[in-house]
Amino acid sequence: MEGYLILVLGLLSVFLLYAYTGPPFTLKYRGLGELSVALTWGGPLLVSGFFVAASGGSLLPSVFLISLPPFFIMFSIIYANNYRDREYDAKAGIRTLAMLTAKYGYQIYIGSLITAYIINTALVITGILPYTALATLPTAALIPRLARAFRDSAHDIDARTGLLYAIYCLIYGTALMIPT
């Protein structure tokens, strides 16, 4: 049964990669691009693949919970990118989630980042994550700087958020591999 689930996850990933701009789906043009990118690159599908390999082919429900913190940070990257590009995208006929929610853009961006850390901490408290996963918390110190850059419409806000993602995931991944 789990083999079929793994196959479905893989096919979902391929579908989302195509459907981002591929017809007839064109998720990017319908306000669903951020979600499809975050699902494909930000956690649930990638982390599931890792844990399936690491657990000898078992797909445990906790895998999806463990994938949520990277998912929310990845969502912030693509959201920030599309928020910055919303005028260009409007001229090109693209309707991103960032365009549809522009009034609340700052709150969505910061809320997504903070949610990653809240979930991380909650998963440690509930015993789903090892206590070593708390080593990611100091990276939250980057959020105020990112918040200012987002408010100032920094041209490289996606790259700055990507740096947070890279640092966070490096620490997160290492923390998950350390025996406790």
pLDDT tens-place string over residues 100-113? 999 999 999 999 99
pLDDT given for residue 10 in this prediction: 76
The residue ranking higher by pLDDT, 102 or 5, is 102
pLDDT given for residue 4 in this prediction: 75
The amino acid occupying position 64 is F
Mean residue pLDDT across the chain: 88
Structural tokens at position 28: 């990017």
Count up the domains in the chain and report the number.
1
Residue 14 above 90 pLDDT? no
Domain span holding position 131: 2-177
Closest among 123, 143, 142 to 133, alpha carbons compared:
123
In contact, 13 and 52? CB cutoff 8 Å: no
What single-letter DSSP state applies at residue 156?
A: T
